[in-house]
Each structure stands twice: as structure tokens, then as C-alpha cells.
Amino acid sequence: MFYRPEYIVLQIINEQSRDLANLRESDVIDDFRHMEMENVLRAFYALQGKNERIKKFPLPRQYANMSRYFIGIFIMLLPFSMIPELMNVGDYGIWLAIPITVLIGWIYVMMEVVGDYSENPFHGMANDIPMLSLCRVIEIDLREMLGETELPPAVEAKAGVLM
């Protein structure tokens, strides 16, 4: 019925809480351990909510739009400030303005692109947080703590990108 990852995580926490209640009713665990495990589940639930808020937090669009406009204006005006200074170098100075302007403009455009990609680090792109790898490391650690011997393999980087 629910296919969104947030719902799946909440359903897992809910099922674990039900299992803990069943274990308590069967006297497998005592009250203290039951309450402590419920506190851990409550902490997981709170952390899930915090992560969701980070992922879905709306960044002001006017900042993104205005920075693009400002960079465009800067790049258009940059040659007019470069040409008079480079004319002092000699006759070839005016031609140096073109590659220097392109280089400086490219740097500012790349800073804008990096800022756009940094707005949402959970999209699964090459420069994002490698959530799959982090989750697999946690899974392997937990399974080792439980004494399991058949562990899943660690996530390998593909084409130099760790997902």
C-alpha cells in the first residue's frame, strides 16, 4: 500500500514496537529492558523525522534565482573592467581579456552549480552523500554484533562513484 521510504521506515519501527510488546507479554524480557528498547525505537523515530525535515526543507528560491542573475550581470560586465587594464600590457592585451573573462566567468558559474547540487544531498547523484554505502556499513556492523557469519558485501564504487 505505501511505497515511500519514509512510510516503510515508520512501519518497521511500528512492527518492532509490537514485537517488543509481545516479548514483554510473554515475559521474555523484563520491564526495564522493554522500556529501554522502546526508548531506542523512540529515538529512531525522532531521528527519522529530523532526517526527513533536512531532506524536504524548502530553500528560498529567490536566493537561487537572484544569484544566477547576479552572476550573469557580473560576467557581462567583467570584460569592460578587464579590457582597460589589459590594454596597458600591450596590443595583445585586449585579446587576453577573452580567455581571462571566460575563465573567471566559468569559476563563478561552477560555484553556482555546486551550490545548486549542495541544496539536496540525498538525490543519489555522484556528488551526494553515499547513503547506500553508509547503510550497508551499519548493516554489516549490526550483523557482526549479532554474531552472524554470512555478511553482505560492502558497496563498491562504480566508475569512481560511491553510492
pLDDT in tens, 114-159: 887 777 777 767 777 787 888 888 888 888 888 888 888 888 887 7
Strand runs labelled E in the chain: none
Look at residue 4 and give its three-state secondary structure.
coil
The residue extents of the domains of the chain are 1-57, 61-118, 122-163
d(CA 21, CA 89): 81
**Percentage above 90 pLDDT, the chain:** 17
Nearest to 70 by CA among 114, 104, 102, 108: 108
pLDDT tops 70 at residue 46: yes
Predicted TM-score of the model (pTM): 0.53
Cβ pair 151, 140 in contact under 8 A: yes
Position 8 scores a pLDDT of 74
